[in-house]
Amino acid sequence: MTKIALIQLKTSIHKNQNLKKILEYIKYAAKNHADVCIFPEFMMFYYDPKHISISNFAESINGSFIKQISYAAKSESINIIGTFYEKSNTSKVYDTAFFIDKYGTVITTYRKIHLYDAFGFKESDYILPGSKIMNPINTDIGKLGMLICYDLRFPEISRILTVRGSEILVIPSAWINGYMKEQHWLAINKTRAIENGCYVIASNQTGNIYCGRSLVVDPMGKILLDMKKRENIKFVDVCIEKIRHTRKKLPLLKHRRPDVYGKN
């Protein structure tokens, strides 16, 4: 069994204030013997264009924000997954997820591919899209595939990650409130778990314009954790053997017909 610490955040526009809170959650997760600490999208700061310049406060992977989180991972001997605003050579930034292992090493990063230009929002005004699906990574908690928020609505990326070997899909998110949005969130997370026979772990922002409801869903679609609306940290155990057992009983991946799909 692997113990997951899921953090549901309400971030402010103040990066240093958020970092202090993040480091406290990491310490608390380690104290409770979690193997990995998972944060939501936009954990660095809440972007309000009226009060903050996103490019001025974004950082590189070698910047202070990631360095301090890496130091905490090593000090507390815990794996950490989250996101940050990554500088580019333009006025826009990348929305980048990271995996830092318990030795403080940044193992991989993933730049969000699908930008949220929907329901009246336009992320492409200030975020650059990524162009590469990162391969799953072997970790202490299983083989992980990473995607970010709006990527959930595109089943191709989850399926590609699963076909490449993912046992757990981790989705840092900042899912926005709105008509039927929570219903979409619940339905899509459950669907991705069921269709791929994997765990889905989706940490979400709460407060501001976001809906909360951070989730852990097992390979049969059972919701193991729903964090509702409060900012909080919760713990849940996941079992890799359950993935193998589910995929044996319901061998969806073996029943795929890519030989037919390409002809249509």
Q: Encode 137-161 in three state secondary structure.
A: EEECCEEEEECCHHHHHCHHHHHHH
Whether residue 164 has pLDDT greater than 80: yes
Q: Mind listing the pLDDT tens digit for each residue in 184-205? A: 999 999 999 999 999 999 999 9
Structure tokens given for 169 = 């899909």
Radius of gyration, alpha carbons of the chain: 18
SS3 content of the chain, % helix, strand, coil (to 5): 30, 30, 40
- CA-CA distances (angstroms) from residue 115 to 26, 34, 94, 153, 210? 28, 32, 10, 11, 16
Asked if 144 and 199 count as a contact pair (C-beta separation under 8 A), the reply is no
Mean pLDDT computed over 148-156? 98
CB atoms within 10 A of CB 230: 11
Local structure of residue 197 (DSSP, 8 states): T
pLDDT at res. 71:
98
Which pLDDT belongs to residue 50?
A: 75
Does the pTM surpass 0.85? The reply is: yes
**pLDDT value, residue 264:** 60
Residue 52: band (very low, low, confident or very high) from pLDDT cuts 50, 70, 90: confident
- The bridge status of strand 142-146 relative to strand 137-139 is antiparallel
Say if residue 262's pLDDT is above 90.
no
Q: In this structure, what token pair is assigned to residue 162?
A: 């699963």
Residue 30 has pLDDT above 80, yes or no: yes
